[in-house]
């Protein structure tokens, strides 16, 4: 398919859903207090006091899907400029680079840094979920572009 926006929406959204599920699993295994970064961002945007609020959970997932589509679109642009070889390495490089820039900017913008500094395991879990996103994205892009 030649429409990069459509590819980004499908593969980015599906990768984000998989990464969200993976993040929930990781967070359930962490024995210390934990935070979910996309939900925390939504909570601070709408000033919702409860991270277990279904509204915050749904918007956190939607937020992740939107960001996943944006990350994927940038990834596809990088692939168009650099070539379609080494998809996994490029996926990891682009997604982790965007995570560092994007997460840092969003955490600063919404003043999440105090919560994030207090929960280094949650930040590590969020980073690992992004790595999982990169792996799923590589697979989906490879499969999607075959058809």
The answer to whether 139 and 11 have CB atoms below 8 angstroms apart is no
| Spatial distance between the Cα atoms of 140 and 144, rounded to a whole number of angstroms | 6
| Spatial distance between the Cα atoms of 109 and 102, rounded to a whole number of angstroms | 10
Radius of gyration of the chain (CA): 15
Domain residue limits, the chain: 4-146
- 18-130-78-9 Cα dihedral, nearest 10 degrees: 30
Among candidate residues 97, 91, 94, 78, the one with its CA nearest the CA of residue 4 = 78
Query: Along the 147 residues of the chain, how does pLDDT read in single tens digits?
Result: 678 999 999 999 999 999 989 988 888 887 765 666 776 666 666 665 565 677 777 888 888 899 899 999 999 999 999 999 999 999 999 999 998 887 777 767 766 666 666 677 877 888 899 999 999 999 999 998 876
The answer to whether 119 and 33 have CB atoms below 8 angstroms apart is yes
pLDDT, tens digit, for every residue of 32-72?
656 667 766 666 666 655 656 777 778 888 888 998 999 99
């Amino acid at each position: 398919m030649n429409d990069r926006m459509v590819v980004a929406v499908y593969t980015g959204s599906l990768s984000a859903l998989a990464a969200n599920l993976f993040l929930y699993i990781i967070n359930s295994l962490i024995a210390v207090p934990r935070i979910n970064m996309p939900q925390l961002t939504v909570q601070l945007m709408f000033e919702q006091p409860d991270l277990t609020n279904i509204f915050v959970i749904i918007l956190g997932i939607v937020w992740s899907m939107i960001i996943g589509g944006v990350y994927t679109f940038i990834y596809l642009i990088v692939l168009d400029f650099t070539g379609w070889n080494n998809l996994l390495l490029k996926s990891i490089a682009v997604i982790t680079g965007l995570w560092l820039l994007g997460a840092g900017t969003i955490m600063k913008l919404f003043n999440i840094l105090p919560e994030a500094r207090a929960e280094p395991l949650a930040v590590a879990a969020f980073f690992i979920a992004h790595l999982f996103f990169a792996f799923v994205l590589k697979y989906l892009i490879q499969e999607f572009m075959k058809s």
